[in-house]
């Protein structure tokens, strides 16, 4: 078999047609589990083996870092090496472009990527000038982020907000939700925040998209250059692109038109981050010559699951109907169960997981517990822990977001971007004896244009600085100087990380903490040095910092650990599990109380649809009549989605399968 036909084998006809589509736009619209992601990776491999594209001419864009890593892996397996194919998130692709060309729109390419934590810090600082307290600053931050994702700058903000309000679209409903929380000061706070970012030479995550679009708009020659580099662009989860991502793509593929988009409008769930499902419709307008392929077979789930999900999503009025036929034979189960309270619910799922795993020879990682909001996870965690079931909460802080990792890297950031006073402040506050006032003094002098090491030595000599602070400031100044030389001489990042961690006594301080948590921190710094050593093979400090910044918001996904996965419905996108527990299916939680009408309700339904369709063999949808939240116990009504799925639900008695035994009997028999 030739390499090319090997890539096409194991695909159905429609999938083959999409994978082997030649040049020109291609749109794959299909339901969950139909092999969209599979088509995308096979298409990348096919483009290379058929000789149409060189690997480095391909850009494959996905939604999360994790999905990008997985995609790279799959391509590697198909091709025996990625050989230069870029599989990235939108953010990292834009960052890649900006690092090389941002000077053309007046941005110093040494800019720092301001992560969520630093962003919050800057916002609180800015908001204070407008007499806003931290919660209001956070609300303004959400509005600013939303606006940037819609490509709206501070000047256009008031007009945009006024125009959008009452438009009746999902975007306008979500915008109203975001903007209503933060009062009239937003445009001013927005402008002041952008000023502040400029001062520290920083771009936040949303800016990466915003500025990359500006670059391509203002400099068509630059856009053309990148279109020659990435001649083939493929996008997964296209239904969740926002305006900025959409525009950037358009500008990139305008000329060559070799764009592949795969997605499912029924799975568009990121309206709160300004994702706009209309983009799929616009795709057809912009590329009238596009080939459109529908995939109509579901390989993932048993018919019991697909039929229930299908019934549910048909309740959405704004949608195009799709056919999705399960290829798997009957089997598995799909049930709805009700419980008195969340403890009973949690105990049930812990027991059920143990029983199913033993009975069917499954792994812990074959199970997922999905909920609407993070705050719900605690009860389930407790029940699993009590039974000794290993679990991971996907959503807790991941490696790159850990304090000790960010502390060590902050030293390097200060050197790479001399105006990064956010990192400088962080580093100063780590030093014994140094407090807020001194850190602020240092930051102000650096912002006035002086080198950090010089400022530190100066401030150390000022009257009023204590002895301890003095010696630690001098030591820090020396550390920064050594790091600067090291970076200039292109010393390995691993070596520089180690030096940064040790020279100011940071590691020694961590090591003093003998608690488990303290020891874990020490081990994490060790892991950072190893990660840096790995990166040294291909890049250096700059690449390390980039990777860290982009991944700082990533949650711990448990890696390859054999453990039950607990996560929000949003996080479950694109994944699949043998058994899924969709918990807390109650009015107020699902649909969320803020989104119980209009287009937002339809998005909640899509969210439920995404959750249900993660299940391969078993799906348990559960709800409780009583749930305690914020210390208050409340009576709940079952989610309207249960009925829509076809379950017979009686709020006060029990829930039954469509045609089956009572759940109580079943459980009694099974446990």
Dist CA 70 CA 82 (whole Å) = 12
Of 154, 271, 418, 574, the residue at the interface with ligand ATP (CB under 6 A) is: 574
- The nearest distance, CB 569 to ligand ATP, in angstroms, is 12
For position 130 contacting ligand ATP by CB under 6 A, the verdict is no
Give 197 or 235: the residue with its C-beta nearer to Mg ion: 235
Examine the residue annotation and report whether 86 is marked as an active-site residue of this protein: no
Whether 396 contacts 556, CB under 8 Å: yes
For position 36 contacting ligand ATP by CB under 6 A, the verdict is yes
For position 96 contacting ligand ATP by CB under 6 A, the verdict is no
Examine the residue annotation and report whether 207 is marked as an active-site residue of this protein: no
For position 80 contacting ligand ATP by CB under 6 A, the verdict is no
With CB under 5 to 8 Å by kind, the binding choice for 300 among Mg ion, ligand ATP, none is ligand ATP
For position 568 contacting ligand ATP by CB under 6 A, the verdict is no
Give 548 or 580: the residue with its C-beta nearer to Mg ion: 580
How far is residue 85 from each of residues 29, 35, 255, 313, 572, measured CA to CA in Å? 24, 21, 21, 36, 26
With CB under 5 to 8 Å by kind, the binding choice for 149 among ligand ATP, Mg ion, none is none
Dist CA 364 CA 577 (whole Å) = 10
For 34, the 3-state DSSP assignment is coil
Examine the residue annotation and report whether 224 is marked as an active-site residue of this protein: no
- The nearest distance, CB 63 to Mg ion, in angstroms, is 10
Active-site residue (options: 101, 115, 207, 237):
237
Examine the residue annotation and report whether 36 is marked as an active-site residue of this protein: yes
- Structural tokens at position 539: 């890049």
How many other C-beta atoms can be found within 10 angstroms of the C-beta atom of residue 658? 15
Dist CA 297 CA 10 (whole Å) = 13
Q: Which of residues 265-284 bind ligand ATP (CB under 6 A)?
A: 267
- The nearest distance, CB 37 to ligand ATP, in angstroms, is 3
How far is residue 607 from each of residues 33, 370, 420, measured CA to CA in Å? 15, 11, 39
Distinct helix (H) and strand (E) counts, the chain: 29, 19
Of 38, 119, 425, 627, the residue at the interface with ligand ATP (CB under 6 A) is: 38
- Residue 435 backbone dihedrals phi, psi, to 5 degrees: -115, -175
Nearest residue to 526 (alpha-carbon basis) of 392, 399, 398:
399
For position 35 contacting ligand ATP by CB under 6 A, the verdict is yes
Dist CA 361 CA 10 (whole Å) = 27
- The nearest distance, CB 603 to ligand ATP, in angstroms, is 16
User: Binding residues for ligand ATP, how many (CB under 6 A)?
Assistant: 18
How far is residue 41 from each of residues 222, 456, 493, 503, measured CA to CA in Å? 28, 51, 32, 45
With CB under 5 to 8 Å by kind, the binding choice for 264 among ligand ATP, Mg ion, none is ligand ATP
For position 32 contacting ligand ATP by CB under 6 A, the verdict is yes
Contact pattern from residue 292 through residue 311 relative to ligand ATP, giving x for each residue in contact according to CB under 6 A and a dash for the rest: -------xx-----------
Give the torsion through C-alpha atoms of 356, 359, 360, 361, to 10 deg: 100
Q: Any bridge partners for residue 230, and if so which?
A: none
The pairing of beta strand 232-235 with beta strand 655-656: unpaired
For 113, the 3-state DSSP assignment is strand
Whether 334 contacts 660, CB under 8 Å: no
For position 396 contacting ligand ATP by CB under 6 A, the verdict is no
Please report, as ranges, the residues that interact with Mg ion according to CB under 5 A. Answer: 36-37, 574
Give 302 or 346: the residue with its C-beta nearer to ligand ATP: 302
36 is an annotated ligand-binding site residue = yes
Of 115, 264, 407, 603, the residue at the interface with ligand ATP (CB under 6 A) is: 264
- The nearest distance, CB 234 to Mg ion, in angstroms, is 12
Dist CA 71 CA 630 (whole Å) = 40
Closest residue by beta carbon to ligand ATP: 35
Give 77 or 165: the residue with its C-beta nearer to ligand ATP: 77
For position 241 contacting ligand ATP by CB under 6 A, the verdict is no
Dist CA 548 CA 476 (whole Å) = 22
- The nearest distance, CB 215 to ligand ATP, in angstroms, is 31
Give 12 or 471: the residue with its C-beta nearer to ligand ATP: 12
For 299, the 3-state DSSP assignment is coil
Dist CA 321 CA 323 (whole Å) = 7
How many other C-beta atoms can be found within 10 angstroms of the C-beta atom of residue 273? 16
Q: Kindly report the CA angle at 566 between 394 and 625, in degrees rounded to 5?
A: 140
Examine the residue annotation and report whether 614 is marked as an active-site residue of this protein: yes
Contact pattern from residue 2 through residue 31 relative to ligand ATP, giving x for each residue in contact according to CB under 6 A and a dash for the rest: --------xxx--x--------------x-
Examine the residue annotation and report whether 264 is marked as an active-site residue of this protein: no
Give 12 or 441: the residue with its C-beta nearer to ligand ATP: 12
Site for ligand ATP, rule CB under 6 A: 10-12, 15, 30, 32-38, 264, 267, 299-300, 574, 576
Annotated binding residues for ATP, written as ranges, equal 30-37
Tell me which residues are annotated as active site. 36-37, 236-237, 267, 614
């Amino acid at each position: 078999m030739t390499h090319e036909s090997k890539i096409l084998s194991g695909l159905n006809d429609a999938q083959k047609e999409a994978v082997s589509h030649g040049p020109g736009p291609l749109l794959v619209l299909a339901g969950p589990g139909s092999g969209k992601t599979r088509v995308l990776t096979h298409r990348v491999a096919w483009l290379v083996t058929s000789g149409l594209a060189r690997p480095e001419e391909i850009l494959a864009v996905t939604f999360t870092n994790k999905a990008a890593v997985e995609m790279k892996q799959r391509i590697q397996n198909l091709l025996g090496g990625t050989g230069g194919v870029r599989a990235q998130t939108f953010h990292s692709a834009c960052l890649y472009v900006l690092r090389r060309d941002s000077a053309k729109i007046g941005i110093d390419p040494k800019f720092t990527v301001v992560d969520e934590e630093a962003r919050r810090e800057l916002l609180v600082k800015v908001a204070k000038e407008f007499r806003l307290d931290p919660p209001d600053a956070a609300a303004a931050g959400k509005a600013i982020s939303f606006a940037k994702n819609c490509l709206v700058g501070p000047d256009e903000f008031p007009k945009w907000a006024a125009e959008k309000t009452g438009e009746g679209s999902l975007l306008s409903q979500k915008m109203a939700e975001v903007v209503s929380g933060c009062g009239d000061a937003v445009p001013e706070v927005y402008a002041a925040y952008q000023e502040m970012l400029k001062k520290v030479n920083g771009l936040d995550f949303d800016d990466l998209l915003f500025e990359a679009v500006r670059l391509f708009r203002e400099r068509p020659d630059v856009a053309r250059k990148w279109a020659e580099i990435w001649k083939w662009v493929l996008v997964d989860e296209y239904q969740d692109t926002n305006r900025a991502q959409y525009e950037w793509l358009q500008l990139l593929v305008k000329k060559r038109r070799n764009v592949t988009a795969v997605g499912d409008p029924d799975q568009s769930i990121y309206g709160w981050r300004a994702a706009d499902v209309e983009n799929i419709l616009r795709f057809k307008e912009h590329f009238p010559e596009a080939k459109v392929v529908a995939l109509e077979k579901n390989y993932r789930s048993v018919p019991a699951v697909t039929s229930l999900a299908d019934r549910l999503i048909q309740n959405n009025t704004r949608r195009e109907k799709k056919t999705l036929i399960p290829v798997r034979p009957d089997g598995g189960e799909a049930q709805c169960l009700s419980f008195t309270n969340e403890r009973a619910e949690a105990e049930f799922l812990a027991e059920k997981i143990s029983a199913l795993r033993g009975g069917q020879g499954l792994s812990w990682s074959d199970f997922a517990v999905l909920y609407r909001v993070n705050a719900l996870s605690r009860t389930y965690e407790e029940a699993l822990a009590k039974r000794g079931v290993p679990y991971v909460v996907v959503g807790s802080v991941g490696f790159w977001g850990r304090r000790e990792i960010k502390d060590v890297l902050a030293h390097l950031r200060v050197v790479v971007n001399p105006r990064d006073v956010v990192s400088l402040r962080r580093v100063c506050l780590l030093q014994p004896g140094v407090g807020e006032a001194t850190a602020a003094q240092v930051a102000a002098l650096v912002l006035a244009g002086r080198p950090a090491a010089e400022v530190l030595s100066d401030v150390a000599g000022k009257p009023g600085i204590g002895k301890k602070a003095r010696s630690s400031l001098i030591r820090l100044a020396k550390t920064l100087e050594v790091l600067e030389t090291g970076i200039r001489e292109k010393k390995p990042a691993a070596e520089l990380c180690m030096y940064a961690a040790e020279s100011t006594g940071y590691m020694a301080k961590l090591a003093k903490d003998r608690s488990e948590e303290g020891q874990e921190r020490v081990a994490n710094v060790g892991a950072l040095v190893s990660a840096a050593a790995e990166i040294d093979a291909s890049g250096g400090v700059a690449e390390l910092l980039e990777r860290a910044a982009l991944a700082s918001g990533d949650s711990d996904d448990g890696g390859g650990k054999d453990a039950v996965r607990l996560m929000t419905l949003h996080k479950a996108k694109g994944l699949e599990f043998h058994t899924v527990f969709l918990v807390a299916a109650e009015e107020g939680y699902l649909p969320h109380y803020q989104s119980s009408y209009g287009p937002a309700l339809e998005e909640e339904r899509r969210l439920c649809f995404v959750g249900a369709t993660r299940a391969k063999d078993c799906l348990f949808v559960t709800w409780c009549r009583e749930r305690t939240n914020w210390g208050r116990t409340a009576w709940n009504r079952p989610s309207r989605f249960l009925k829509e799925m076809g379950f017979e639900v009686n709020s006060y008695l029990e829930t039954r399968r469509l045609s089956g035994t009572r759940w109580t009997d079943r459980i009694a028999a099974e446990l």
